Amino acid sequence: MSRLFDDGDSEYLSIDSVLGLSVLPICFSSWIYIDGQTGTNQAVMELVDKSEDDVRFLLYMNNTGTVYALTQNAGGASQAATTDTLTLNNWHHVLAVWAATNDRRVYLNGGNKGTNVEERTVANLDRFSIAAHSGATPALFLTGRVAEAAVWGGASLTDADALVLSKGCSPLFVKRDNLVSYWPLIR
């Protein structure tokens, strides 16, 4: 089971909170099943300044199925991209790691790792969302299912952690002391 976000129809989850996250590292992890809307960018998870559209940490997939870990501020964007793409109508595990202001990583299915080392900082974050960009103008609605959404703070997940999560291990058993939020979304 999972939470269905119906055809990019403005459905998403959000909370006006930073989930207790105040400094890097930050990690987002989720299982996703994209069932349509190819040709559009789709957000998986985001920590954003709700009054802005360009200050955020965003885990998303683009219109070709490449998965990204993006850091964006008013000065521009820096992002890591997976080396392979996801496919429609299949479950995929995605993980984004922001280890430092100049160290972002993204994984697809426990591998296909992409990295980026451009310096980029963000501030004034105050909203977390699943399945959409939820800044001043909500957009990038996900079309499909999300399950096992999790957020860690204070410790970076490793290549080994990415592989373990992609094999179906619950986030509850991966760096549990640093797990700040977990939504199974399976009921």
Q: Give the Cα-Cα-Cα angle 155, 132, 40 (nearest 5 degrees).
A: 115
Question: What's the farthest any 2 CA atoms get from each other in the chain?
Answer: 41
The candidate with the shortest Cα–Cα distance to 157, out of 32, 59, 18, is 59
Residue 36: which pLDDT band, with cuts at 50, 70 and 90? confident
Per-residue pLDDT, averaged over 115-126, amounts to 95
Q: Going from the N-terminus, what domains does the chain have, and what CATH number goes with each?
A: 3-183 (2.60.120.200)
Helices (H), strands (E): how many in the chain? 1, 13
pLDDT for 149-173, tens place per residue? 999 998 899 999 999 999 999 999 9
Determine the Cα–Cα distance for residues 105 and 118; give it in Å rounded to an integer: 12
Whether residue 187 is predicted with pLDDT greater than 90 in this model: the reply is: no
For the cut 70, the answer to whether the pLDDT of residue 37 exceeds it is: no
